[in-house]
Amino acid sequence: MGNTDMESKENKESNVNSENKESSINKDSEKQASIDKKPVKDIKKPHGKKNKVAFRVLAAVGVVLVLILGLGIGYVIHLYNLMNHDDGTNPTSSFAQEDVSYEVVENPEDIAHLPTVTIQTPEHHEEVETKEGRHVEGVYNILLLGLDKAQGNLSDTIMIATLDTRDNSIKLTSVMRDILVQIPGYSPNKLNVPYKLGGIKLLYQVLENYFEIKFDGYVAINYYALEDAVDALGGVSLYISKVEAEFLNTSNFISDESSRSLVGGKTQKVNGSQFVGYCRQRFTTADADFGRTKRQRYALNALYEKFKGSSVSQARNLIETVLPYVTTDLKLTDMVALATNAISAGLGDIKQLRIPENDAYVDAQYKNMLVLDVDFEKSKVSLHKFIFGDYIED
């Protein structure tokens, strides 16, 4: 397909969907307005304010998947080679148990009132090497990771992007980083730790063991790519509440000091530095990290909508900018297959879920860490119903 044909197709789709896109963004803006309240004091953690959000994988990967069929094979191979490829066969690092750190709170007395977790060892834990998660024909699950390389590749953002060709839907599930899990070969720790300890194979093992989902691949991105991605698209429109604007303008979450000029209580175009700051901070709502992941999903959807309306030249610029920050185990043939199915699905609105849901966890403590003690059985059922449409007991 030539560039002229692609641009014509994009313009046609943009005209048809413009009213729906505007309505979707307005609803998200109104929803975000509800968080306009006074900052709530949060429990401080040594690395909490460095929880960089390197999560905006979906837009970058989506660009590649959508355009891959319309570009020459030589250019496609060039793009593929810009990415880093790691299927977990040769882990880049290994840790002895005594070297594993815990993200303890600064003041343990702040969580002394919380129950202490008795860690749940998942069923079939010892058989995990021979046990596979669920896979349904026509449903593709890609694990999306935002990596904080400054903290040794902690996967501080964990999402599951689902492409369901049965009903032409796209779904995005946020999995909370503070879930306490058993890690094969190590002591229990938070869910953001397995990737750091053993790479993608260990994280696959933990997730498949607890949630029984088979992943078709993963894409991990360094958070530094996010600023460049947003700037490559000419900025993204977000609603910023008054309390968020005040906090972001007076803190270092926006790395570029000259960009600490957000206007509270309105939707505005933000640049890459402002976008990252908005996604990173978790101190302006009472729900702390839950509020942060809510903002991440909202921001991702806004970025996705901007991408859908981008020109071919903008898309190419974004690809060239972001891909060197990306690591994946997807093969070129996998990407072609995903692109074909994504185009067939129509790239519609994103359905969203958060795991755990409100009734499936309690705040707890473990080795002076603030963690989420999760009802994994309830969460597994919810996740399967969301992704596959049903839950089948063993």
- Region 9-29 average pLDDT: 45
End-to-end CA, the chain? 46
Q: Are 56 and 221 in contact (CB under 8 A)?
A: yes
Structure tokens at 371: 């963690």
Triad 299, 385, 30: Cα angle to 5°: 30
Give the position of tokens 């991702």: 300
With a cut of 60, say whether residue 89 has pLDDT above it.
yes
Triad 144, 104, 178: Cα angle to 5°: 30
**CB neighbours of 213 closer than 8 A, spacing ≥ 6?**
133, 134, 141, 160, 207, 383, 384, 387
Closest to 139 in 3D by CA, of 68, 214, 200: 214
Structure tokens at 35: 């968080």
Tell me the pLDDT tens digit for each residue of 95-128: 666 567 788 777 888 888 999 997 755 554 444 4
Cα 117 to Cα 180: distance, rounded to the nearest angstrom: 9
Structure tokens at 151: 């903290």
Confidence of residue 36 (pLDDT cuts 50, 70, 90): very low
Of 49-58, 142-151, 381-390, least confident by mean pLDDT is: 49-58
Confidence of residue 66 (pLDDT cuts 50, 70, 90): low
Tell me the pLDDT tens digit for each residue of 167-190: 888 899 999 999 999 999 898 999
The percent of residues above 70 in pLDDT, for the chain, comes to 71
Q: Please list, residue by residue across 320-329, b when 16 or more beta carbons sit within 10 angstroms of its beta carbon and e when fewer do.
A: ebbbebbbbb
Tell me the pLDDT tens digit for each residue of 316-349: 888 888 889 899 999 988 887 887 777 776 656 6
Determine the distance from the C-alpha atom of residue 372 to the mean position of all C-alpha atoms in its chain, rounded to a whole number.
Answer: 18
φ, ψ for residue 86, nearest 5 deg? -150, 110
Q: What is the mean pLDDT of the chain?
A: 78
Q: Cis ω on the peptide bond leading into residue 356 (within 30° of 0)?
A: yes
Query: What are the DSSP E strand ranges found in 122-223?
Result: 139-148, 154-164, 169-175, 180-181, 189-190, 217-222
How distant, in Å, are the alpha carbons of 79, 175, 308, 339, 351 from that of 70? 13, 33, 15, 10, 27
Per-residue pLDDT, 159? 92
pTM across the whole model:
0.70
Query: Which helix (H) or strand (E) covers residue 84, if one does?
Result: strand 84-85
Cα 140 to Cα 163: distance, rounded to the nearest angstrom: 5
**CB neighbours of 7 closer than 8 A, spacing ≥ 6?**
311, 312
Cα 241 to Cα 260: distance, rounded to the nearest angstrom: 14
